[in-house]
Structures are given as C-alpha cells and as structure tokens.
Structure 1
Amino acid sequence: MTFIGTATTLLRIGGFTLLTDPNFLHRGQRAYLGKGLWSRRRTDPALRIAQLPALDAVVLSHLHGDHFDRVARRELDRELPIVTTPAAERKLRRWGFRAAEGLPTWSSRELHRDGTTVRLTSMPGKHGPGALDRLLPT
C-alpha cells in the first residue's frame, strides 16, 4: 500500500494494482465539492499520475473534486476500469471514461487474473456525522 494523499492510495493486492479516489491536485489548489463548496489541498501528492505503475482499476468512492479531480480527469487512461457509484458512472462516461462501472450498494465486481480474484463490494457511506452529512452534496 502506498498513501499518495487525501483519499488516494495505491493498493497492490494479489497481483492486482488498484488506485483509490484519484486526487492529484497540488498544495494550495482548490477542489470543487458541488453546490458552490470548495476545499483547498493542504499537501502535495506523493506521486504524479505519470509515476504510477500500470493500473488494473480505479476504485472511486464518489465523484467529488477531492476524490476525482481535474488532473485525474485529464490524465487517467479513458479505457481504465473505474468502479464507482451509478451516479458517478453516468458522469464519467459523459467525460469519455468508457469502462466506468457503477455498482449499486451491496453489489460486487470481481477482477480475475491467473487464478486470483479480487472482489470489490459497494457499501453505503456518509460524509460525516449529523449536520455534516446533510450539508455536503452527494
């Protein structure tokens, strides 16, 4: 596991290489969260997209700018599988990411290679407790 920053992590599991929530903005840059809300990146990412190894898939928890930013949108391979929410799949496909796949909650997607399987399961999530969850856009 390599922590890149924010929610972005490079995972190597059983011969598979997965990237979670690609955020490659630099320190001081702003990420759009929706409904007029922004967050400012506090640190630089540990790696750039060009430095990543070959990826088998991206696991995207949800489509906010602090989890999938404009750098990821511009630089990630449009053929790379992205496992995400159904709403994020629709938007990613409009942006040209043809292998985006939205999983309804509790659904799974399996990746197979050389007799090894990795299962990705969609789970419900919240931004935070109480008012914070209601304040932030979905």
Structure 2
Amino acid sequence: MSLLKEFREFAIRGNVVDLAVGVIIGAAFGKIVSSLVADIIMPPLGLLIGGVDFKQFHLVLREAQGTVPAVVINYGSFIQTIFNFVIVAFAIFLAIKLMNKARRKQEEKPVTPPAPTAEEKLLTEIRDLLSQQQPKL
C-alpha cells in the first residue's frame, strides 16, 4: 500500500474529522473565554483591588537604556492566563459532567426489544405448526 493511499485513508477516517472539528471549536471557545475573563471578570476584580488592571502588574529587572528596552517580568499577564485556564477547565468539567449525566440516563433506560413484525409472527406460527406435525421419537 502506498504512503499516499495510507495517508488518505487515515485522513478520511471519522476520528480525524471529529478531532479537526474539536480543535476548531476549541480555538473559538478559547477566544470566547479569553474575552470573558479580560472584558467581564477582570475589570470588577481589578476594581476590588483598587482599580488596577492585572495586565499592568510587572516587575522591572532592568530599566530601559537608550534604545534597549526594559527587561520586565509581566506577572499580571501570567495571572490573567491562570484565570483563563481555570475558567476553561471549569467549563470543560461542566460539559463533561453534563455529557456523563446524559449518558447515565440513556444507560438507565430499560431496553425493550421491538415488537415482532408480522413476518416474524407468521414464521413463528409456521415453526410451531411444523413442530406439532413432526412425530415424536
């Protein structure tokens, strides 16, 4: 089997397509969560700590000298990223919990076999009649 043919079979499989869709939706979801944190959650939180935006928090290691920029540690951006992560993780947790709950409800439903069709009923009657006509040994 050629490498190209093998790759085509791999790429066409449903799992790869599902994964691609998941990555695309995940990227869009990440942007939504980043906006939620930056635009809705962080401003009131910054207000609670004195009106300071977390992105402004930094530690200067070396001041700017001429054309050489300052060397800083932007720990405020790091705090913002941690908040993003916690919110994304919590949202994923809730989504998985909801899916598991739905799956459990599906598993709890008793599976009743479908009623026999007219053809099956007729075949059952024929079988029973044939077994009655057979001489018993």
Question: If the length of structure 1 is used for normalisation, what is the TM-score?
Answer: 0.21
**Greater helix percent: which structure?**
2
Structure with max Cα Rg = 2
